Each structure stands twice: as structure tokens, then as C-alpha cells.
A and B are shown apart, each in its own frame.
Chain A
């Protein structure tokens, strides 16, 4: 007999042990999948880890993949903490990329350093604006934000496609080559974000910005009246109403912050890495959805998001690098799925404890059977 009993107290170490354990179990399950598909599990997993974390180039690539996950992870974590399920990080990232690219192109070569902050502001504003749509609907009409924010992801993806492939928009390269192969205008020099170099490691500006944002969010939630009220609303909307808290405003504010963070992630895609508005690359990456995995594994803690984003970034990066005839291309997806599955399953262990007893169940059960 295995029984789950609700824990009266939740020991702190479980908050670390469960995510770590989840990852370990996910690796074990992936090994089984590998063995079944005829790959040597240990060898394949070792190759995967080597490709992600062993060596400077690999680590730099990992940071490149990890940066957008940091933004989308924070985007999800911020909203989920209030019990507000913003699944729209994907679309908000696209919106931010459009906004960021517009700012970079508009300012051109004229204003020098101003391009970077302008791109951040524009990206954040576009992301926030898109997130406010489900926010307003939720606050004033009590619609389900999961559905509305999810649907807007498709809208944002189509707008992104339209801007480059289906129109002569401001973002599209209209030179003779661009007319044959549709692509975005290359961003001017000042729109390239600086990077910090640290002993051979290249730290993208977006990564540092994301870490600063994580710190800001931590302060916001743990040390401000705003954060206090958001926690009360997240725990018990009725108690919040009773205490005279303005729930609608908080919904709007948290959605705006959440969307702005994803939007800045989009601007970072333009400024840090792609230097062009790149619909194919952005939609193929699926950073927004992976961000939800990051937030769940990090248990919505902003600092843990930083760490998990880099770890999962490493896995994705390794997946891209190793794809080939002898490496199952779906493996990384399978592993990510398993990690999320185990993390959410592990949540059960934080709240409940498992009791195994060997006593047979007699009486009532037998009588009824």
C-alpha cells in the first residue's frame, strides 16, 4: 500500500532536493528512451553534456541560448506567482523583437549609445502592450488569461511573418536581394548591444540585464508593498478583497511587467544576437514555451530562474550542435518534456509525503469487493 499524506510542514531542503532529483530522474528516463531506440545511453548523455558545458565555445553558445530563456522564464515566474497564468511569453517576445528592431532602425547611426536603451524601452513597451490585452480582459471581464494569452501567441507570430514576408513594411529589406529572398533590414551598428568579456567567456548584455531584472523582481516581491499585496492576491483573492487591496490594478501591473520582460528578451534577440528581425529563427526556437518550463523548475524564484535558464539553454544548444544521423534530434525535446514532467510530479513530494505500508487492507474493502 502506498499512500500520500499531506505534509504538515514543508522542509526547506525539499525546495532544492526536488528540482535536482527531478532532473536526475529525467536523465534516467531519457537513458531508457535512448536504450530502447538503440543508442548507448551513457555515451549519448555524456556527448550531450560535453556539447553543452565542456569548453569555452560550448559555454558561450549555451549562454546565447540561455539568455532568452532567462527573460521568458522571468516573464512566466512573475505572473505565476500571483496565480496569473501568462502563457503568452512567446508572443510577447515577438512583439518585443518587433519593437526593439523598430527603435534600432529608427535611430540608425545618428544617436550612438542611445540606441540600446531605446531598444530596451521599445521592446518592453511592445511586450507589455501585448500582455495587457489578456490582462485587461481578465481584470474587467474575468476571462481566462491562459486561453487569451495563448491565442495571442499565434496572432503575434502571424504579425511577425506578415512584417517580413507578406508586406513592404518598415522592417523589411527592400533592396533588390531582399525582394528575391524576403528578410529584415540589417540593424545599424549602434543597435548592436555590447558584450562583457570575462576570461574567454562572452557575456551578452541581455544576460546581464536579465540578471539585474531578476534582482529587481526579487526586491519587488520580497520587500515592497506591491509585492506583498501580489502575494496575498495570489494566495487568497477573497482575503485580498477583504483587506481592501485593488486586485484589478495588480493584475494589470503584473501582466505589464511580465510582458515587458519577455519583450526585452525579444529586443535582446535583435540587439545581442540576430541584428535583424528574424521571424523564422524566433518562431522556430520556442523560447516562450521553454520559459514556462524554466519558471516551473525554478519554483518561480527569480534567482533560480537565472540558473535553470542557463542549464536548459545548455541542453537546447547541445541538441542543435549534435543533431545528425547518429544523434536522435528529438532527444532534447524528449528530455525537456521529461524534466517538466518530473518537476511537476516532484511538486507532489513537496506537499505530500509518501507512506509505504505492508499491512493488507481488510474489512470494508473486501466486504465491498
Chain B
């Protein structure tokens, strides 16, 4: 019996039809992938299924019965759980507290909280589904991979029969993704329905039973994963053929060392050292990829180099000059550009316009300011020029950044960072959550930056991306360099071993 049936779902927003008569069906015990580019309507569809939006037209049926959701709570009560791409967790709270938050069935039935009982329940669930996480840890102390496990635990705790996972592997390593796939299969075998939203073709193929492809708000096709090829799925998804992770080769020999780290130590968020004596070099025109399981010092590395985190010990040199550290302004002046991991929260000021965001760092420059005043006309011109150059799609530079899609938002960040003529570029998960077409664009820009002589430090949890773009790959494990390999000699298996800390043994 189909667990979920959507018929003719249409949802309009001012000026856009996000879903245009979408049909969708997923059975009990099935892993059903929802594949599509950003803006294809996947998020809108899942928001409708979780009660956040009401469809303008169309019906939702669960196990053969027609339902209407007035609020997300109705959807939760009907057994629909969702793991969002941007996690909905309360950072200062513990894992157990987050899991029990808003619950009104299990331990949450009573007015008084029983933390011990909730913790036990969570521990039991995490054992059963292989979702290792300490129920007493606080969310802000966890890596993104661990936070995701909390989100899944939350849904399981509420006994979700239908679980929607939105871009779940965006924050995971290959091994973590494998673990997740095993968890997903396990949940499906118990009779749950898993709706797996993704635009990574190989994982869709690896985990799903069936795949429904959305394009421009419409259902293009539903196919059995076993019968589909990566190529046929890509063609359905974008309407043309694309090879995302083709290797880009370097033409010139790299120049002088632009970024040098010498035995660098930095504190992590838990008050323990996050970087333990990292030494690495990136030369002009070279791309060095940082691979590692989430939470092994990648964030600390990016933040230390870009001045957002103080250097406890060791030296960071940019173009030969040592940084005092702990000052973003100093790093920017030294020529360090930064594409941050969290693009909406850190990379832009979401309430301000695209134009303002494009000059977030350069508004002090002589060309855009005279004395204390800013030159609005020039800022507007600069913004319009960059929007054109980087193909940022919006009705104008006055549109708030918040309203942009992930791909366009990342283009704003890239346009700003590249236009500062950097010597060093630190890119942290630059394609996380983007669709194939946007990933290709971002890869092109990163490749071009290296070709132009920028020293690129690419930190990514997507190993395919690291392999495709890097000249050299450095693997981090527990805050230290576990190994370094030339990209030409690298294999996913070899790197995977280093990521698991298995090199020295």
C-alpha cells in the first residue's frame, strides 16, 4: 500500500509556481529518492508534506486516507518526520533535551521532565539504529554529522513512520554517508518510508528503491533505481548531460608559498585543542584539498587562517608575513578571501540587499568610499556589474540576500571574495547543498582562481569534490595532519583510511 500519495500538488508564490501539479507516491518500507536541481520544487514539496505550507491545489493521502495539515504539528502527529538541511536544533541544549523538545507523547506527556529517562530512551534508539551520539552532549559541541544524527533521532523518538531527509549527505564523509545509508535501509526494513531528497546521483542510486525526478516544479519521471544510470538520471534532472566531478588539470607549475602554517594549534569549541600542530603549505596557483570526517579540525583550520579564531601556538604566514591571528580584518588585509561554510549565517547579512552584501568587505576601499561617506552610486554600479559577471539571478541589487536560492547566494559570496583579488582563498564546503549546475559553476570559479595564481585551500567533506579540484590532498584526523597525498596518486579508499585515522597503524 502506498504510504504517501500526492496528487496534483500546486503551490504558488508571488511570481513563481514552485510546484505545478506534482504527483508523487512512496510505499511502506521503501526508500524513495526525490531528485532535482535547486529550485526544482523539492523543498516546497517537502514543506507541504510536513504541514509548513498548504498546497493551493491537490490532495495528500497517507495510507489511503485523505489528510489536510493545518500546521507542522498535524503532520508530526500523522507520523511524518523531517530532517532539514539546516538543522532545527537549540544549540545550548543537550542532545536529549533537543530530542524531547515539543514531544507530547513519550516522556513529554508529563509536566515534569525526566532527563534520565529521556537520555536512556535516546541512547537505546541510537544503539538500535547505529546513530552514535552522546545524549548529554550539547548541540554546539557536535559536528554537523553528529547534529544530523540528533535530527534523525528526534524523528525516530516521535515514532515517525514517514521520514523525509533533505540533502542528508551534504555534511557527511563517504564513510559517514555509508553508515547513514545503512541506517536508512534499516529503518525502511522496519516498514518506515524514507523520502530521500538529493541531487547527488550516485547516492540516490546507492540507497533508493525508486527515484522521482522533479524539474521546474513538475514531476518528470519516477523510475526504479536499479534500472537507472547516473547518466540517465542527470539527463532527467537537468534536461541535458553534465559530468559534475570531472577532474580539472592544472596547466602551470605553482609559484611561491602563499599560505604557510607552521605547527599551528587552536582551541576548538569544546575548550579542547581543535588543531594540534598543523603544518601545511599552499603555493600560488595551487589547490590544496582538506579531507576529513566532519569535526576533525576543518572548521578550526578555516577559522584560524581567516582570523576568526585566535592562534594558540605556531605561525600562520600569508605571502611571507606572519599573522597575529584572531582578527578577520588583519586576514582580509593580508589578502585572505573566505567562502565560509555557513553561507547564510556568516557569508552574508541576510536582511541586507545583494548590493550591500557584495561590498561587505570592500566598502572601506577608496573607490567606494570618500572619507566617512559611502558612494551609493558606485556601490550600485559595482553590484550590478558583479551580478552580471557572476550571473546572480535576482530582480535587482536591492533584493535582500535572504530571498536568494542557495546557488545564487553562493555566487554573491564568491563574487565578493574573488573581486578582492585575493592571494589566498579559503573555501569551506563551497558546494554544500547546491545543485549540479551550481556546483559546476562554483568548481569553475575555484579552478579559475587557482589558474589566476590564487593559493586555494579547499576544505570539503565531499571527497569527490576534493579529488576533482585539488593538486594535493591533506587529511585531517583529530586536529592533526594524518597524511598528505598528491592528487594524482590519491584513491577514495586510501584517503578514507587516513580519514579514519588508520594511517600510522
Contact = CB atoms under 8 A, between A and B. Distances in A.
Q: Which 8 A-B pairs have the closest CB atoms?
A: A363-B67, A244-B329, A364-B78, A244-B328, A235-B349, A235-B351, A364-B74, A368-B77
A44 to B, nearest CB: 42
A82 to B, nearest CB: 12
5 contacts: A239-B349, A245-B329, A246-B329, A363-B68, A368-B78
Interface residues of A, number: 33
Nearest to A355: B54
Interface in B30-79: 53-54, 62, 65-70, 74-75, 77-78
A231 B328 contact: no
B374 A244 contact: no
B78 A231 contact: no
Interface stretch (B246-254, B361-369, B478-486): B361-369
Interface stretch (A175-183, A221-229, A306-314): A221-229
Contacts of A9: 14, 403
A236 B351 contact: yes
B74 A368 contact: yes
A156 B266 CA distance: 45
A231 B352 contact: yes
A244 B361 contact: yes
Contacts of B62: 363-364
Contacts of B78: 363-364, 367-368
Interface string A230-250: 011001101111111110000
B353 to A, nearest CB: 10
A318 B419 CA distance: 59
A241 B332 CA distance: 11
B77 A226 contact: no
A231 B403 CA distance: 18
A343 to B, nearest CB: 20
B360 A243 contact: yes
Interface string A346-369: 000000000001010111110110
Contact of B70 (A3, A226, A235): A3
Given A232-B360, A235-B352, 13 more contacts: A8-B13, A224-B373, A236-B348, A236-B350, A239-B348, A241-B328, A242-B340, A244-B330, A361-B68, A363-B65, A364-B78, A365-B77, A368-B74
A226 B65 CA distance: 59
Contacts of A284: none
A1 interface: yes
A239 B363 CA distance: 14
A243 B361 contact: yes
Contacts of B338: 242
Interface in B333-384: 333, 338, 340, 342, 345-352, 356, 360-361, 363-364, 369, 372-374, 376
B327 interface: yes
B403 A8 contact: yes
B323 interface: no
Interface of A: 1, 3, 5, 8-9, 223-226, 228-229, 231-232, 235-236, 238-246, 357, 359, 361-365, 367-368
Given A232-B349, A239-B348, A365 B74 contact: yes
Nearest to B65: A363
B289 interface: no
A113 to B, nearest CB: 29
Contacts of A357: 54
Nearest to A365: B74
B346 A235 contact: no
Nearest to A233: B349
A232 B401 CA distance: 12
A224 B374 contact: yes
A223 B67 contact: no
B307 interface: yes
B interface, size bucket: 35 or more
B308 interface: yes
A367 to B, nearest CB: 7
Nearest to B375: A223
Contact of A232 (B68, B307, B329, B352): B352
A240 B333 CA distance: 15
Contact of B328 (A8, A243, A362, A367): A243
A364 B349 CA distance: 39
A225 B363 contact: yes
B488 to A, nearest CB: 35
B67 A228 contact: no
A245 B362 CA distance: 11
B416 to A, nearest CB: 9
Contact of B346 (A223, A228, A242, A244): A242
Nearest to A238: B346
B364 A225 contact: yes
A8 B329 CA distance: 34
A244 B347 CA distance: 12
Interface string B198-216: 0000000000000000000
Nearest to A239: B349
B14 A8 contact: yes
Contacts of B403: 8-9
Contacts of A8: 13-14, 403
Given A239-B348, A242-B347, A231 B14 contact: no
A239 B376 contact: no
Given A8-B14, A232-B360, A239 B307 contact: no
Interface in B71-94: 74-75, 77-78
B119 to A, nearest CB: 27
Interface in B136-181: none
B205 to A, nearest CB: 33
A230 to B, nearest CB: 11
Contacts of A5: 53
Nearest to B376: A223
Contacts of B361: 243-244
Contacts of B364: 225
B451 to A, nearest CB: 26
A235 B400 CA distance: 11
A223 B369 CA distance: 10
Contact of B374 (A228, A364, A367): A228
Contacts of B360: 232, 239, 243
A239 B346 contact: yes
Nearest to A10: B400
B328 A361 contact: no
A240 B361 CA distance: 9
B192 to A, nearest CB: 17
Nearest to B351: A235
B356 A364 contact: no
A218 B352 CA distance: 17
A362 B351 contact: no
